[in-house]
Structure 1
Amino acid sequence: MREIFIERRDRLLRIAIKENKVLTECFIEEESFEPLPGEIYKGVIKNIVPAIKCAFIDIGHDKNAYMYINPKDKSKSLKKGQDILIEVTKEELGDKGAKVNGFISIPGRYTVINNLNTGVSFSQKIKDENFKSYIKDNIVFPKDIAVVIRTNAQFVDVDIINEEIKKLYATYEDIYTKFNYTLKPKKLYGEGGIIYKILRDSINGDTASIVVDNPSDYNIIKEYIEGKPDINIDINHYEGHRNLFDYYEIEKEILALRNHRVPLGCGGHIVIDKTEAMYVVDVNSGKNVSHKTMDKTAYITNLQAAKEIARQIRLRNLSGIIVIDFIDMKYPNHRAKVIEALNEGFYGDKNKTVIYPFTDLNLIQIARMRRGKNIYDYIEENCTECSGRGTLLKLSYISLLIRNEILKVDAENRINNIYIEINNRYEEAIKGNIIGFITEIEGLDKNIYLNFVEGTEYFKVEPLIFINQIENVKRYKVEI
């Protein structure tokens, strides 16, 4: 059973997905004017560097986008100053601009159309040859585009598929019209944020409910689901006093993702570390001593680790090269089962993931395409006191957690005096914009007593009920 939770704050949208009560994916989108994957732009080629086979393209943002030149992009005749229609495939990262392609694709729930090729193709998850033959005989689409039939198309009538293609092609033509009549680089098409991608890509036959706390998002979801015959989902508008993620205890699970060590049910554990070039996962048997042989212990630990590693990679949105150091196994069938567990763990993952066979050193290598930022980018920042070698929670996330605690206190009993202890590393940033901080934690209508303490992990929030409590901390009162 799949459950989707959607929480919106002023500048932040967070979406969590649970499978059978276990958190499997978490998406976070900050309000930003940066180009996002899936958006389509009119660009102007500013420079071509043959040595690295790359074109740099002005798309109307501070940073030029970049595009690798290859036959797929039909880009052999690219020239400096040329107008070009492109689609963003990766967002900006550090000093690098967005990565783009020289062809465009427009996704729907049942199909995707693109101008890279022509003809009909099918999702690799569709195995039914009779269905494929039926679709090829009955599908209607313009011959200047390619149509990819998605997995969800198996559960609806072909007329619904044809109707969606018709709508997608109308959007495609509108994009080209704007491209021809637009003089400057600009965005021509965008889905309007991650919520539409989740509705399109993450709702399936197992989805039982969606819980959402924003009225506008509730209406968007309700409108999207209406008229979709393969969707039967309960949509619940959460109107509680506390934050949605806090109420459903998702916040605790997100905070736990900072832990490098993850326990396994068998008594073993995995350790996830990041190097400059890759992520490294180490598997340890730990306290798993319940089996009579080392071979059995290694196999059971590795099997549980494979399932948990796949979940952690998706949940943390790790990408690039990931190397897993499993415990040595000498039986080929044990290795095959571990790889099978990894593959099952990535079933339904929208990020392209390739799992390579075991090496002689019992290592597994995974290559996972980057799609959005990883979870650490949203909740952590580099620590300035250790030359960037360590990390600490972002002040924006600390503020969110403190706000949750204050709302929780308010829900139980109206309290006007709140004492907060917070690590002194945040002192300069908070005092530099004290009104902004108090506003963020929803403390403008309260007396806030703020104490910066060295060595405190995260923070502490304490309601002040008695007069002697207030007297003891009065020197910390924030005056606005």
Structure 2
Amino acid sequence: MEEVFIERQNDILRIVLRNNGKLKECFIEEESDEPCPGEIYKGIVKNIVPSIKSAFIDIGFKKNAYMYIHGKFGNTSIKNGDELLVEIMKEPLGEKGPKVTNQISIPGRYAVIITSNNNLNFSKKLGDNEEFIQYIKQNIEKPSDVGVMIRTNSLNVEIEDINKEITQLYQHYKKIVKEDAYSIKPKLLYNGGGTLGRVLIDILSENTEKVIVNTERDYNYIKEFISRKSDINLQVELYLEKQSLFSYYNIEKEILCLRNNKVVLPSGGNIIIDKTEAMYVIDVNSAKNTKEISIDKTVLSTNTEAAEEIAGQIMMRNLGGIILIDFIDINNYEDKKKIIKILKRGFRDDKKKTVIYPFTKLNLVQIARKRRGKSIYDYIEEECGICKGKGNRIKLSYLNNLIKNEIIKISNACKINDIYIEIDEIYEKDILGDVLQFIKEIDALDKKIYINFMSNLEYFKVEALIFASQIRKFENLKIYG
């Protein structure tokens, strides 16, 4: 059974997919005015740099977007001052503006309108379903001036549903083109329902039984969304309690566990996931795997277990770009094929484009996975000031939200005014530097707060001080109230 949890809080949208109670995928995006992947803009070419084969385009954002110029994109004849329809491929990062393309796509659940060609195209996952492909070719109602990509979800619905969605998507496209023609300045023309709309298209399936949201706006949006999809039959619940949705359903703990770079395998082996500036590196170790009677069998069993786990970890952590896996040295060609097959099977339901390359001579496997949004690390972690940026810590703002939920949980159980908190000493300077701001963020203006700053504390602890003896014991730790 699959369940989807959607929580909006302080301009952060978090979406989690659970399968049989276990975290499967996690999306975290900041709701901001910055361009997001999938959005379509009217742009004006401001500068062309032939040496890097790029055009820089004003889309109304503070930084110009950049677009690669290549014959396959049909954009080699553009010049300064040209007006273009462009789609965001990557959000702005650091000093870089957003990456865009002039090849527009408007995705639906069953089909996608595309401008890169004028053909009827099919998802690669439909490649071996020749009977279905022929049926679609004979019955599809395709607009003459754009291409259409048929998605795998179309297998579960009638041709009327597919044609109806294509008509709706084409109407969106014509509206975009019309607004572009009448607009003078660069501007946003289409956002596809924002982050929520884009994620819902991919994450909901016939296996999804329930969606739980914490805002009425999202509740209404999802009800409207599923009313138009004949292959989706699920329950939508609105959660409006004071304790956060993710805290109530214990999802916070699951997300925090994803910070751990070490994942232990059933056999006793492990994988280590590290982030470098250019890529993610995953190291596979046999560690305590001593179940097999030979080294070769130990290596194979550890590597196959790792391959099964790695796909899930990449999807849960929303890792993208280049991912390099260092498997334990293995020489047997058939064993290598088996491991690659397991990896590919793990990404079978992944909606992001993922390419898995064969083993190199050094027993490395490279994965290229399309980036969509940021990884969980970008939202949970920040540089640690104490170690001068050499390590990361949980963001204090993120931690404050978790503490607030624990205080709410305590307050719901009993009327207690004295709250004791244990937290790592790396946060001491930030908290004591602005105590009132900290108290506001943990929603404890009506409480008395006692904090014990401790060394090497991995997470935190929040407890109610019930007895007078406890309060006297921690009196010297009181920072507020």
When the two structures are superposed, what TM-score results if normalisation uses the length of structure 1? 0.95
Residues in 2 aligned to 1:237 and 1:24: alpha-carbon distance in whole angstroms? 22
Q: What residue in structure 2 maps to residue 204 of structure 1?
A: 205
Q: What residue in structure 2 maps to residue 375 of structure 1?
A: 376
Q: What residue in structure 1 maps to residue 398 of structure 2?
A: 397
Residues in 1 aligned to 2:412 and 2:265: alpha-carbon distance in whole angstroms? 35
Q: What residue in structure 2 maps to residue 118 of structure 1?
A: 118
Native 8 Å contact 2:450 2:480 kept in 1: no
Matched to 1:379, the amino acid is: I
Native 8 Å contact 2:435 2:480 kept in 1: no
Residues in 2 aligned to 1:414 and 1:104: alpha-carbon distance in whole angstroms? 56
Q: What residue in structure 2 maps to residue 226 of structure 1?
A: 227
Q: What residue in structure 2 maps to residue 313 of structure 1?
A: 314
Q: What residue in structure 2 maps to residue 260 of structure 1?
A: 261
Q: Shift of residue 382 of structure 1? A: 1.3
Q: What residue in structure 2 maps to residue 106 of structure 1?
A: 106
Matched to 2:382, the amino acid is: E
Q: What residue in structure 1 maps to residue 60 of structure 2?
A: 60
**1:342/1:165 Cα in 2 relative to 1: closer, same or farther (>3 Å)?**
same
Q: Secondary structure at the match of 1:170?
A: helix
Residues in 2 aligned to 1:432 and 1:141: alpha-carbon distance in whole angstroms? 62
Q: What residue in structure 2 maps to residue 136 of structure 1?
A: 137
Residues in 2 aligned to 1:13 and 1:431: alpha-carbon distance in whole angstroms? 29
Is residue 69 from structure 1 mapped to residue 69 from structure 2 by the alignment?
A: yes
Q: What residue in structure 2 maps to residue 387 of structure 1?
A: 388
Identity %: 54
Q: What residue in structure 2 maps to residue 79 of structure 1?
A: 79
Native 8 Å contact 2:16 2:27 kept in 1: yes
Native 8 Å contact 1:271 1:281 kept in 2: yes
Q: Shift of residue 35 of structure 1? A: 0.3
Q: Secondary structure at the match of 2:386?
A: helix
Q: What residue in structure 1 maps to residue 423 of structure 2?
A: 422
For residues 23-422 of structure 1, the aligned pairs below 5 Å read 23-126=23-126, 127-422=128-423
Matched to 2:471, the amino acid is: I
Residues in 1 aligned to 2:228 and 2:143: alpha-carbon distance in whole angstroms? 24
Native 8 Å contact 1:278 1:321 kept in 2: yes
Residues in 1 aligned to 2:160 and 2:427: alpha-carbon distance in whole angstroms? 58
Residues in 2 aligned to 1:462 and 1:393: alpha-carbon distance in whole angstroms? 20
Native 8 Å contact 1:382 1:388 kept in 2: yes
Native 8 Å contact 1:35 1:91 kept in 2: yes
Comparing 111-120 with 227-236, greater Cα deviation is found at 227-236
**1:315/1:355 Cα in 2 relative to 1: closer, same or farther (>3 Å)?**
same
Q: Secondary structure at the match of 2:259?
A: coil
Matched to 1:256, the amino acid is: C
Native 8 Å contact 1:241 1:411 kept in 2: no
Q: Shift of residue 397 of structure 1? A: 0.9
Residues in 2 aligned to 1:207 and 1:141: alpha-carbon distance in whole angstroms? 30
Comparing 37-46 with 432-441, greater Cα deviation is found at 432-441
When the two structures are superposed, what TM-score results if normalisation uses the length of structure 2? 0.95
Deviation digits for residues 352-384 of structure 1, max 9, x if unmatched? 111111122222111122211111000001123
Comparing 250-259 with 50-59, greater Cα deviation is found at 250-259
Q: How many residue pairs get matched?
A: 480
Residues in 2 aligned to 1:424 and 1:344: alpha-carbon distance in whole angstroms? 44
Q: Shift of residue 27 of structure 1? A: 0.3
Q: Secondary structure at the match of 2:33?
A: coil
Residues in 2 aligned to 1:70 and 1:445: alpha-carbon distance in whole angstroms? 62
Q: Shift of residue 455 of structure 1? A: 4.5
Residues in 2 aligned to 1:81 and 1:428: alpha-carbon distance in whole angstroms? 51
Provide structure 2 residue ranges, at least 5 long, that are not aligned to the other structure.
none
Give the CA RMSD over aligned residues.
Answer: 1.9
Deviation digits for residues 129-185 of structure 1, max 9, x if unmatched? 111111111111221100001111111111121111111111111111111111111
Q: Secondary structure at the match of 1:217?
A: helix
Matched to 1:58, the amino acid is: D
Residues in 1 aligned to 2:329 and 2:353: alpha-carbon distance in whole angstroms? 28
Residues in 2 aligned to 1:79 and 1:476: alpha-carbon distance in whole angstroms? 66
**1:311/1:13 Cα in 2 relative to 1: closer, same or farther (>3 Å)?**
same
Deviation digits for residues 233-289 of structure 1, max 9, x if unmatched? 122333445322222222112111111110001111111122232222111112211
For residues 435-454 of structure 1, the aligned pairs below 5 Å read 435-453=436-454
Provide structure 1 residue ranges, at least 5 long, that are not aligned to the other structure.
none
Matched to 2:36, the amino acid is: L
Native 8 Å contact 2:161 2:230 kept in 1: no
Q: Shift of residue 456 of structure 1? A: 4.0
Native 8 Å contact 2:40 2:190 kept in 1: yes
Comparing 171-180 with 466-475, greater Cα deviation is found at 466-475
Residues in 1 aligned to 2:435 and 2:169: alpha-carbon distance in whole angstroms? 48
Comparing 13-22 with 167-176, greater Cα deviation is found at 13-22
Deviation digits for residues 301-347 of structure 1, max 9, x if unmatched? 11110011111111112222222111223332222221111001111
Q: Secondary structure at the match of 2:124?
A: coil
Residues in 2 aligned to 1:294 and 1:479: alpha-carbon distance in whole angstroms? 59
Matched to 1:297, the amino acid is: T
Comparing 44-53 with 75-84, greater Cα deviation is found at 75-84
**1:454/1:290 Cα in 2 relative to 1: closer, same or farther (>3 Å)?**
closer
Residues in 2 aligned to 1:258 and 1:95: alpha-carbon distance in whole angstroms? 26
Residues in 2 aligned to 1:29 and 1:143: alpha-carbon distance in whole angstroms? 36
Residues in 1 aligned to 2:49 and 2:433: alpha-carbon distance in whole angstroms? 44
Residues in 1 aligned to 2:225 and 2:168: alpha-carbon distance in whole angstroms? 14
Residues in 2 aligned to 1:270 and 1:206: alpha-carbon distance in whole angstroms? 30
Residues in 2 aligned to 1:96 and 1:158: alpha-carbon distance in whole angstroms? 43
Matched to 1:7, the amino acid is: E
Residues in 2 aligned to 1:453 and 1:21: alpha-carbon distance in whole angstroms? 33
Q: Shift of residue 449 of structure 1? A: 2.9
Deviation digits for residues 67-119 of structure 1, max 9, x if unmatched? 11112332222112222211001001111111000121111111100111102
Comparing 52-61 with 466-475, greater Cα deviation is found at 466-475
Q: Shift of residue 415 of structure 1? A: 1.6
Residues in 1 aligned to 2:282 and 2:43: alpha-carbon distance in whole angstroms? 40
Native 8 Å contact 1:306 1:341 kept in 2: yes
Native 8 Å contact 2:92 2:98 kept in 1: yes
Matched to 1:366, the amino acid is: I
Residues in 1 aligned to 2:453 and 2:294: alpha-carbon distance in whole angstroms? 53
Native 8 Å contact 1:295 1:330 kept in 2: no
Comparing 336-345 with 246-255, greater Cα deviation is found at 246-255
